[in-house]
Structure 1
Amino acid sequence: MAPNLECRMYEAKYPQVDAAVMIQVNSIDDENGAYVSLLEYNNMEGFIPVTELSNRRLRSIHKHVKVGRIEPSLVFKVDETKGYVDLSKRRLSPEDIQACDDKYNKSKLVHSIMRHVAETVNIDLEELYVNIAWPLYKKYGHAAEAFKIIATDSDLVLDSLAPAVSEEVKECLIKNIRRRMPVQPLRIRADIDVTCYHFDGVVHIKDALRRAEAAGNDECPVKVKLIAPPRYVVTTQTLDKKQGISILSEAIKACKEAIEKSKGKLVVKEVPRVVSEVEDKMHADQEKNEGVMSSGDEGEEEEEEDTGLGDVDVENAGQGIIVD
């Protein structure tokens, strides 16, 4: 049997008074007003009295409402017993309109994803809302904000929903979110010190750093950048936080094993972690200053870039290396 794919977007059955909601005009009564559907409430019927269409005197109601038009409207009366919702256009402020547009667009995206998941796994849409979307609205303010987190770190959000949500539903939800809500990859970095005080130490360091880069893959490439000897930063970008941290950990392990075979040393100064855009810029500025200090009169200034070992030249990598 086909699942029921009809459901309101929010847990509350009726909107609150003074809330801005998105409506679609169904029909117009020239004498009384307009009959509308509340799109976020499973097309619940509402009514805009003619006196609530405009602050100005109306010459023609059709200049203010048109059948089929979708626009915000403000709730000013709710009768849950009779199921009546009265709305107003004239009481809307520009801020109400903007907030309603933003909320509706996010809610519509969430609803589309939830509906597709319900159809794919053959489950009633309201059941999915009860177990997933409505709890996320409560916890994150809007389910769309939770979906953004799921796109990059699904366990952080979905583990709190278990066991009500099956693995099949989780996998389908994650797949749809990542397809419909593309996000910027997470930037993950680790800071390491690599030294080698033996003959051909420069060569051994470069070989060890190449081993680190080789630990990456197409989905999670690893890059190494020289900051100031012996400090290097190892980075990757990925949509999967767990995978990114795991890959960087493996990269550091491979680098450590390689340099220790050559009687060198690797010390982890900062373990793999996600860095925000603000932190990333802060690190880049700090590393730029360190680069200036370490370059002396040569005036070399470099911001951190994902350019790989091309930046690890023999002369710079060899600073601080003592040849026996």
Structure 2
Amino acid sequence: MAMNTPNFECRMYEAKYPEVDMAVMIQVKNIADMGAYVSLLEYNSIEGMILFSELSRRRIRSVSSLIKVGRIEPVMVLRVDKEKGYIDLSKRRVSDDEINTCEERYNKSKLVHSIMRHVAETMQLDLEDLYIHVGWPLYRKYGHAFEAFKLIVTDPDSVLNSFTREIKEVGPDGQEVTKVVPAMSKEVKESLIKNIRRRMTAQPLKIRADIEMKCFQFDGVLHIKEAMRKAEVAGNNDCPVKIKLVAPPLYVLTTQTLDKEQGIYVLNNAIKACTESIESQKGKLTVKEAPRSVSEREDKLLLENMPNPIDEVNGDEYSEEEEDTGMGEIDLENTATGITD
């Protein structure tokens, strides 16, 4: 006997169609003679259309500069024909505020949807059934399931135990009775909590600053090394500071923290300590990029794009081989001819 395969495709929200004058997130699928056919990402990729006249308030000189296949962006809903399934959309009528609101809502909904779908696939459940009994009730009660998921991270029972479902059973007398049971089984509940905690627990932010540091005095390398140590001492247990040589005279200061503002504050103090130390030895420090939050990918790309990148070296790993490069822009006219002391 063949078993029915659970359906893992479902819209994000309880409503099957968006409301008129609502901003929705779409992905462009095809460009035709009259306009562009798109998928509404929050509504299980149902089809909509943007007429060319709704692309821009200005005269269109190049359609390809305004809309491209594969692009994901917010647009405004103009008309919804639920009987025929037609949805007309506009790119030119959506405001900046509506774009920001739509993007924020979509990013939250996408994370919720990813968690819900993973639980459905893992537990072999129908995704829409999981939404009916858990996801959409959370949207109704908390405004957005994302807000409920944040509470579930620390106190799951207070959020999930209040949801129930009705099932039909045949009683001892042969009569069908309605029974109220928890909205999901213990196993599904544990899987949902586990995935929510894994995906929504705050991850440390990486804060980075780029500086140039030079010192032309005798033993300039030692002065630079001392300044690097002063920078690292400015860190604390919550925001430890590391400073590394990338390519002379470029250095990078980094810290990891859950509090972005604190991380930026600590790096600014580290730069200040480093500046005071190197300037006391008649050196110079220039901030090339102020402290800011970067992703691991951005950090990697920044390092790759540095001029003449070398292996990173921190203040405690400075070897004698790097001493000449640590001095900054030194006149190498004599050494170029092979003259040495």
Q: Answer whether TM exceeds 0.5 for this pair.
A: yes
Q: What is the aligned counterpart of 2:7 among 4, 8, 19?
A: 4
Aligned position for 2:135: 133
TM-score normalised by L of structure 2: 0.53
Q: What is the aligned counterpart of 2:42 among 21, 29, 40?
A: 40
Aligned position for 1:51: 53
Matched, 1:88 2:107: no
Aligned ranges for residues 109-258 of structure 1 at < 5 Å? 109-162=111-164, 163-183=182-202
- 3-state SS of paired residue (2:17): coil
Q: What is the aligned counterpart of 1:99 among 101, 111, 126?
A: 101
Greater Cα shift, 175-184 or 75-84: 175-184
CA distance in 2, matches of 1:165, 1:21: 30
Letter in 1 for 2:187: E
Aligned position for 1:67: 69
Matched, 1:14 2:22: no
CA distance in 2, matches of 1:183, 1:11: 28
CA distance in 2, matches of 1:114, 1:142: 14
Letter in 2 for 1:6: E
Shift of 1:165: 1.3
Shift of 1:113: 0.1
Shift of 1:166: 1.1
CA RMSD of aligned residues (A): 1.1
- 3-state SS of paired residue (1:160): coil
CA distance in 2, matches of 1:132, 1:87: 31
CA distance in 2, matches of 1:183, 1:66: 35
Shift of 1:183: 4.0
Q: Which has the higher contact order (CA 8 A, sep 6+)?
A: 1
Letter in 2 for 1:19: M
CA distance in 2, matches of 1:94, 1:47: 21
CA distance in 2, matches of 1:10, 1:42: 9
- 3-state SS of paired residue (1:14): coil
Task: Answer 1 or 2: which has greater helix percent.
Answer: 1
**Structure 1 unaligned blocks of 5 or more:** 185-324
CA distance in 1, matches of 2:202, 2:132: 26
Counterpart contact for 1:8–1:42, Cα < 8 Å? yes
Shift of 1:55: 0.1
CA distance in 2, matches of 1:42, 1:76: 19
Letter in 1 for 2:195: N
Aligned position for 1:202: none
**Structure 2 unaligned blocks of 5 or more:** 165-181, 204-341
Counterpart contact for 1:151–1:183, Cα < 8 Å? no
CA deviation vs aligned residue, 1:238-257 (integer Å, no higher than 9, x gap)? xxxxxxxxxxxxxxxxxxxx
CA distance in 2, matches of 1:19, 1:172: 34
Letter in 2 for 1:13: K
Shift of 1:68: 0.4
Deviating 4+ runs (over 6 angstroms) = none
